[in-house]
Chains A and B, each alone.
Chain A
Amino acid sequence: GQQLNQSPQSMFIQEGEDVSMNCTSSSIFNTWLWYKQDPGEGPVLLIALYKAGELTSNGRLTAQFGITRKDSFLNISASIPSDVGIYFCVGEYGNKLVFGAGTILRVKS
């Protein structure tokens, strides 16, 4: 079946640092979604990418849909304490959603 490799598994960074995480797959996806999940809550959409090569920003967040349609990255600039949480990439093909394993982000003040 389709699988996503998300890295890194976890990050412990200093407040103000930039963060980068990515997902790769051997399968092609039509859409890439990036979600953030706070403890005890459901995932919340950060950025949706719909076209190969698309680069989209949402405040301090920037994400790109890889040109091969098999990968995506998410960057967070100037991290702040409320960026703490788990970040999931999701590759979507029709109604099929494939989750990455998640990146746990911790921020030191």
Chain B
Amino acid sequence: GAGVSQSPSNKVTEKGKDVELRCDPISGHTALYWYRQRLGQGLEFLIYFQGNSAPDKSGLPSDRFSAERTGESVSTLTIQRTQQEDSAVYLCASSLIASGGTDTQYFGPGTRLTVL
């Protein structure tokens, strides 16, 4: 079946512009996660959605970052007034449920964002 898909695969933008990144989770997966992967670093948790519950936004680095998800479908991550330090690969993952830290997260291929 189809895995997690993300678009665009690459995005180059100018400093100060807004960008929107999209994630299509695996059908039926109730949990969705966004991570940031800076060059040479591990994955950094950004935000988590579980069904219709309030999202956990504790990993968002600033108020320029926001994310939305409608029900159990597509999610968008928006970065306003982009800065050069926002340059990174943004990864999305989904899982069937989020239970006790054992549920497998399935990752998309990521969106590589470059801010000039």
Partners in one complex: no
Q: A interface vs B, CB < 8 Å?
A: none
